[in-house]
A and B are shown apart, each in its own frame.
Chain A
Amino acid sequence: MAMIRLERRADPSNFWRYGAPLVAVLATIIAGGIMFALLGKNPVEAIRTIFWTPFTGRNAAYYLSQLPIKAAPLVLIATGLALGFRAGIWNIGAEGQYVIGALSGAAVALALYPMEGRWLFIICIAASLAGGMLWAMIPAVLKVRLGVSEILVSLMLVYVAENILASLAVGAMKNPEGYGFPGSRNLSQYPAVANLDIWSGTGIHWGVIAALLSVLAGQILLSRHILGFQIQVAGLAPRAARFAGVAPGRLVMVCMAASGALAGAAGWFELAGPSGIVSVDFNVGYGFTAIIVAFLGRLHPVGILLAGVLLAVTYVGGDVARSSLGLPAGSIQSFQGMLLFFLLALDVLTAYRIRIGRKARA
């Protein structure tokens, strides 16, 4: 009987390692079209609205400026997550660290309002780095000390963080001059801490610069630094890593701290700029989408940069589709999830080749 089976390659295929993301994107567009058709929407129109119209239509300049705004948090968070993912450390609560980082920065900014001085912006960034890092240290310490699953703890802390956000937005951080409306002062209108476009209208704010720096730093870390080497060994061969003197506990702490800090900073850059206000619906899932970005970018800083831009396109396109086609806000997530499915499915071709035919007898 003819059958399909997988045969392990002697060496991983470089063609599929870098080709898989491209094929996955194509497959997602096709499958997404089918999904829209099944739900009674015109598939061609939906796909065009998401991927094409925003960047060629009348408002192209505006939508293009949205790309760096959406890509920056994704790239910042994903670069940090990729370090841990490489070492088999699963911080999936970046969304919570993003929220707590933003709130930490906001706490400093609102406490010092209306003090002047651009150095305040630096203080707020530091606060957000510390806040996100500390929030990530909870699962890290529990993992290292007690062996508790970092997956479940970091994820549970997302819901805790969202509850804290909701409570602060209508409570302690509420704008005293806001006529009773929920939400804080608009931090993007507080010059000392505002994270505005560096070149007006381009969407390039300080978070974008930070994202590019994190890509650079991640690249250097992984290719030139002993820690980067340890991370790679720990992921590929945990036993060998231990013999080579890698302390697994320390690696967990470092990877969680780095990803938490970067997610925290991403939260602050978003809050002080594009979003402006501490509100109940401040977080839009960048922390979860960043997981997809990390995988799509092959856990590689430069790849993450490219993947971040691509996922930013889906966010911008999703916004357009929501207003012009009436798609619900969450629908773009189905696209993103599908993308990850296809990528994971195609990844098998990196390590295995498909053999069709009779089972060979050894």
Chain B
Amino acid sequence: MGGIDPILLLASLMVASTPILLAALGELVVERAGVLNLGVEGMMITGAVCGFAATVLTGSPWLGFVAAALAGGVMALIFGVLTQYLLSNQVATGLALTLFGLGLSALIGQSYAGITIDRPPSLNLPLLRDIPWLGPIVFRHDVILYLSLAMVVAIWWFLTRSRGGLILRAVGENHDAAHALGYPVIAIRMAAITFGGAMAGTGGAYISIMRLRQWTEGMTSGAGWIALAIVVFASWRSGRVLLGAYLFGGVTVLQLNLQGAGFRIPAVLLSASPYLITIIVLVLMSLSRNARNATPGNLGATFHASN
């Protein structure tokens, strides 16, 4: 591949994948609790603008990420109150969250357009960074990227190895049974929803603070929707979420590089490729029976204890 440096490509793949990875991991936990929040895109873009604004105001990108997580969590709480306490339809409420987030972010971000911030420092892990090949690809990134990888392991452990994860999955598989056993279904779901929002917000801020270091309206351009698709692709398993996110990050980086290198592939096909590949992957996953069985039993269903 003339004109494309494979080391640089792989390193930027990890960076490009991180926002989707964070958001998809959050949504994974939400969906495992039996809740379908289609507002990921709205929470991401709100996180992106709040994180960027906080970074500009305080000068600290880390406070920016905290603000983004808070903003995403607050957005998710709106969704949670509506769907869990007021029993609204989850699909419609998630859509409303996305529309609201896109609009709100445009309002907040108006005075931040055109500002560029410095790239926050990388960790540059000593010794490890000097390993040939592997060093520049894996060990010269920022702390949030490593945090996202740590979250893959933490969520895997929580869901499959901890008591809390077992309860959360029980709530997602059959909320009536979990309720009968005395578990607080709604409180558990609210916690999961809030966590998902914080993760989506952080993912959004990774785009505005780390990747592009500026704010533009609608800058998440569908990343939240791709994150939702990745959860399906991953059959609701955290290791597979990592695989899916890096696959899509790879497609994104590769198509940008191919466009930059002037390959004779129509630009429209390249720009649309992340979305087309999402559809193709969803189709392939539907052909596997395992994937269909992995869907949490009560995904998207409304819970109301009648007595």
Q: A159-B221, A337-B101 are in contact. Are A39 and B232 (CB under 8 A)?
A: no
Q: A159-B221, A330-B102, A333-B100 are in contact. Are A340 and B92 (CB under 8 A)?
A: yes
Residues of A contacting B87 in the complex (Cβ-Cβ under 8 angstroms): 6, 348, 351-352
Q: Contact mask A247-288 → B, CB, 8 Å, 1/0?
A: 000000000000000000000000000000000000000001
Please, how many angstroms separate the alpha-carbon atoms of A50 and B218 in the complex?
23
Residues of A contacting B188 in the complex (Cβ-Cβ under 8 angstroms): none
Residues of B contacting A335 in the complex (Cβ-Cβ under 8 angstroms): 103
The answer to whether A332 touches B103, judged by C-beta atoms less than 8 angstroms apart, is: yes
Q: A164-B272, A348-B88 are in contact. Are A340 and B286 (CB under 8 A)?
A: no
Please, how many angstroms separate the alpha-carbon atoms of A90 and B99 in the complex?
16
Is A219 at the interface (CB under 8 A from chain B)? Answer: no
Q: A291-B95, A333-B102, A334-B104 are in contact. Are A344 and B110 (CB under 8 A)?
A: no
9 contacts between A and B (CB under 8 A): A152-B232, A152-B278, A156-B225, A159-B221, A160-B272, A167-B266, A291-B95, A331-B107, A351-B87
Is A47 at the interface (CB under 8 A from chain B)? Answer: no
Residues of B contacting A332 in the complex (Cβ-Cβ under 8 angstroms): 103
In A330-354, which residues have CB < 8 Å from any B CB?
330-338, 340-341, 344-345, 347-348, 351-352
Please, how many angstroms separate the alpha-carbon atoms of A362 and B305 in the complex?
14
Residues of A contacting B38 in the complex (Cβ-Cβ under 8 angstroms): 151
Is B271 at the interface (CB under 8 A from chain A)? Answer: yes
Residues of B contacting A160 in the complex (Cβ-Cβ under 8 angstroms): 272, 275-276
Residues of B contacting A295 in the complex (Cβ-Cβ under 8 angstroms): 92
Please, how many angstroms separate the alpha-carbon atoms of A289 and B96 in the complex?
10
Please, how many angstroms separate the alpha-carbon atoms of A315 and B282 in the complex?
35
The answer to whether A345 touches B82, judged by C-beta atoms less than 8 angstroms apart, is: yes
Is B58 at the interface (CB under 8 A from chain A)? Answer: no
Is A157 at the interface (CB under 8 A from chain B)? Answer: yes
The answer to whether A330 touches B93, judged by C-beta atoms less than 8 angstroms apart, is: no
Q: Contact mask B283-307 → A, CB, 8 Å, 1/0?
A: 1001100001000000000001011
Please, how many angstroms separate the alpha-carbon atoms of A347 and B87 in the complex?
9
The answer to whether A163 touches B272, judged by C-beta atoms less than 8 angstroms apart, is: yes
Q: Contact mask B70-110 → A, CB, 8 Å, 1/0?
A: 00000000100010001111011101111111111111111
Is B229 at the interface (CB under 8 A from chain A)? Answer: yes
The answer to whether A148 touches B217, judged by C-beta atoms less than 8 angstroms apart, is: no
Is A212 at the interface (CB under 8 A from chain B)? Answer: no
Contact of B88 among A157, A336, A344 (CB under 8 A): A344
Is B267 at the interface (CB under 8 A from chain A)? Answer: yes
The answer to whether A334 touches B106, judged by C-beta atoms less than 8 angstroms apart, is: yes
Q: A149-B232, A330-B218 are in contact. Are A341 and B100 (CB under 8 A)?
A: yes
Is A126 at the interface (CB under 8 A from chain B)? Answer: no
Could you say which of B93, B108, B279 has the most chain A C-beta atoms within 10 Å of its C-beta? B279
Chain B nearest CB, measured from A145 CB (Å)? 9
Please, how many angstroms separate the alpha-carbon atoms of A275 and B73 in the complex?
39
Chain B nearest CB, measured from A171 CB (Å)? 8
Residues of A contacting B91 in the complex (Cβ-Cβ under 8 angstroms): 90, 151
Contact of B283 among A148, A155, A289, A362 (CB under 8 A): A148
The answer to whether B107 touches A344, judged by C-beta atoms less than 8 angstroms apart, is: no
Q: A328-B106, A330-B105 are in contact. Are A337 and B96 (CB under 8 A)?
A: yes
Chain A nearest CB, measured from B259 CB (Å)? 12
Is A8 at the interface (CB under 8 A from chain B)? Answer: yes
The answer to whether A345 touches B86, judged by C-beta atoms less than 8 angstroms apart, is: yes
In B213-231, which residues have CB < 8 Å from any A CB?
217-218, 221-222, 225-226, 228-229
The answer to whether B268 touches A164, judged by C-beta atoms less than 8 angstroms apart, is: yes
The answer to whether A337 touches B100, judged by C-beta atoms less than 8 angstroms apart, is: yes
Is A27 at the interface (CB under 8 A from chain B)? Answer: no
Q: Which 10 residue pairs of A and B lie closest in terms of their CB atoms, listed nearest first?
A: A337-B100, A330-B106, A334-B103, A333-B103, A167-B268, A340-B96, A337-B99, A344-B88, A146-B286, A163-B272
Please, how many angstroms separate the alpha-carbon atoms of A348 and B89 in the complex?
10
Is A153 at the interface (CB under 8 A from chain B)? Answer: yes
The answer to whether B88 touches A156, judged by C-beta atoms less than 8 angstroms apart, is: no
Chain A nearest CB, measured from B263 CB (Å)? 16
The answer to whether B99 touches A340, judged by C-beta atoms less than 8 angstroms apart, is: yes
